[in-house]
Structure 1
Amino acid sequence: MAKNIHIGIIGLGAIGERLIKSFETRDDIVVSAFCDTSETRLKEMAEAFNVINLFTDYNELLRFTEIDAVYVAVPPKFHEEIVLASIKAGKHILCEKPLANSVEEANRMLAAVQKTTLVHAMHFPLNYQASLQQFEKMVNDGYIGELRRINLKMHFPHWPRLWQQSDWVAGREQGGYVLEVGVHWIQAIQRIFGPVSEVRSKLQSPEDPSLCENGIIAEMKLANGVSVLIDGLSNIGGEEQLEFAAYGTKGTILLRNWRQLLVAKSGEELTELAVKEDSSLDLISEFAKAVHGQQAELYDFSDGYNAQIVLEALRHPQHDDWQKLI
């Protein structure tokens, strides 16, 4: 029987708390230590999850010999320094998305971890979601025919979302929905449909230079020439809308608000399909398999790096024309 995996959590924000709850459901994973710069948050989470090893300095957590792996759930601009220190300490790593706050940072992180045998995984939960798995299977089974276009719509009446109020999520330096939400779909697009080769992006931003984008109109091209259109708006009237659609010569498949799956053959109206939930595949289980040396379905730092290249082209357009990525 494989020994338990002892994991340390670095960063105790809203997303970090969600995954802690997932770790807690497993018999083979022990949440052994917490690290956060806020002593108030440390105390609150320690009481909630009965964790006694508490640190305000991640280096102290990394010196804690009981720890086998770390979950890095701090804001993006701190990922590189913590991940590089974790690699040096010989800890397996689960890192929040996006991988970093720049392509250069992401490249250094990827290069460092590839010199080791450590498990390095990204928190890309969309890949394990039944709705996207069913979407992908229908595409691969030929439901839409030949791909003509992909559309991604991201509309938010509030940004940051009401459950995610944080200065850095609202900030231009390392926040915004292109980065926080778009990264999931960019990674999924590249995994299912192939690499993005070109990007043309126009951002709309508030007058306050510290605040993130409130609009984006962008087009990406896949290596095969198919266009991906991005329509993003925030701080608007209406309800939150997330739509990811693949249009083909024979039909359309659309994911709405992450989990609702709608389909139509050409010329017909969209109808909703029941999503067949499958609990056999999830990120935490696959991460545990990999740490135990077993074959696992993980999305690693190379996937994070490839998404980062596209993200930075969308977030920081150099001009109004196409930016070639590959």
Structure 2
Amino acid sequence: MTPPVRVGVIGLGAIGQSLLKAFMADPEVHVTAVCDVNASLAETTASPLAASAWTDHRQMLDAADLDLVYVAVPPRYHHTIALDVVAAGRHILCEKPLALTLDEARDMRRAAQAAGVIHALNLPMHADPGIETFRRLVQDGGLGTLRRAELTLVFPQWPRGWQRNPWIGGREQGGPIREVGPHLLHVVLTTLGPVKRVWVHAEYPADDTAACETAALGTLELTNGSLVVVSCLTNVPRPEQVSLTVYGSRGTAGLVNWASPVAASGQAPLEAVPVEGPRVPAGEQLVRALISRVCGGPGDLADFTTGVRIQAVLEAWEHSSVTGRWVDVPQVEPT
């Protein structure tokens, strides 16, 4: 029998705990070590797993036998910890966004590629069959000439009730565009093409300069000339909405509730589109692909190059929100 892949988890907040469950459920995985600055949380998490508990990730990397490390700390710490993981020769899965800045993201990609380790970004929607169905609807020509796309993010409260922590509501690391945006930006980039430049108007609380945006309206101009209008609104008495709609000269295709495809021909109403293939929990699908790659098999992953491309758009978005001007997005080479 093939020995299980030994996994370490750094960061045991809400997101880290969620994917930890997917690792625990995989029979090919043994969660060997966990790490968090909260010693009590680390010990409580480690005990039922028979794993070692750490508060210093460097000590964990030095002492624990690990094949793969999942970095689930706040974005400010991704760069430093990821470089330590890669330097230790471990394969790595990192939370999104990949880093705080484009320079940091590029640095992380260079290091991972030079080390020859598997590097992946936690974008659970990456290989979702609903996304693949939407992508085929857009790219098979049935919509006619693509006219425009609209990305809508609405949250009745931010931070969301299950995700309250010291950083998610801050401008430096958090906010809906940084936190939720990467999932849908990835769909835009892989379905419609690269972003050439960005224009943004963002609203922030007048009494708290450290707080994240409460609303934003922006435009992504793609390299093919198409426009994606982005509307983000928080703290309104409406249900959560995460949707992407693409309008063509003959039809319309979209995603509702994050990853459920819909479509219409002509002026007909949008209707649900059947999804081909089984749908499994996103975390389970990601872990399967990741473990397969670590073991030398196939696996469709969003890697650090994907993370750098998303980071380039996020950084241009942030600059435009400050200047109120169009900001060019650096194009990212695949190597």
Category of TM-score, reference length = shorter chain: over 0.9
CA-CA distance at 1:269 after TM superposition: 1.4
TM-score normalised according to structure 1 size: 0.95
Match of 1:270 in 2: 270
Match of 2:325 in 1: 321
Aligned positions of 1:17-36 closer than 5 A: 17-36=17-36
* Aligned partner of residue 167 in structure 2, secondary structure: helix
Match of 1:286 in 2: 289
Higher mean displacement: 52-61 or 278-287? 278-287
2:261 is matched by which residue type in structure 1? L
Matched, 1:144 2:147: no
Residue segments in structure 2 that go unaligned for 5+ positions in a row: none
**1:144-181 Cα deviation digits (max 9, x unpaired):** 22322111000111101111111200111100000000
Aligned positions of 1:296-315 closer than 5 A: 296-315=299-318
Contact 2:31 2:49 in 1 (8 A): no
Contact 1:103 1:309 in 2 (8 A): yes
CA distance in 2 between partners of 1:175 and 1:17 (Å): 19
2:302 is matched by which residue type in structure 1? Y
Match of 1:6 in 2: 6
* Aligned partner of residue 168 in structure 2, secondary structure: helix
CA-CA distance at 1:219 after TM superposition: 0.2
2:236 is matched by which residue type in structure 1? I
Match of 1:211 in 2: 211
CA distance in 1 between partners of 2:32 and 2:251 (Å): 49
Moved over 4 A (4+): none
Summarize the Cα distance change of 1:92–1:233 in structure 2 as closer, same or farther, 3 Å threshold. Answer: same
Contact 1:201 1:313 in 2 (8 A): no
Contact 1:178 1:315 in 2 (8 A): no
* Aligned partner of residue 149 in structure 1, secondary structure: strand
Match of 2:98 in 1: 99
2:141 is matched by which residue type in structure 1? G
* Aligned partner of residue 294 in structure 1, secondary structure: coil
Higher mean displacement: 67-76 or 139-148? 139-148
1:278 is matched by which residue type in structure 2? P
Aligned positions of 1:227-238 closer than 5 A: 227-238=227-238
* Aligned partner of residue 211 in structure 2, secondary structure: coil
CA distance in 2 between partners of 1:66 and 1:295 (Å): 24
* Aligned partner of residue 59 in structure 1, secondary structure: helix
* Aligned partner of residue 313 in structure 2, secondary structure: helix
Match of 2:220 in 1: 220
**1:36-91 Cα deviation digits (max 9, x unpaired):** 000121133224x4233000000011113411110000000000000000111001
Contact 1:34 1:51 in 2 (8 A): no
CA distance in 1 between partners of 2:326 and 2:171 (Å): 23
CA distance in 2 between partners of 1:184 and 1:51 (Å): 33
Matched, 1:42 2:42: yes
TM-score normalised according to structure 2 size: 0.93
CA-CA distance at 1:259 after TM superposition: 3.5
CA distance in 2 between partners of 1:277 and 1:38 (Å): 41
CA-CA distance at 1:277 after TM superposition: 5.0
1:315 is matched by which residue type in structure 2? E
User: Identity across aligned pairs (percent)?
Assistant: 36
Aligned positions of 1:150-229 closer than 5 A: 150-207=149-206, 208-229=208-229
* Aligned partner of residue 272 in structure 2, secondary structure: strand
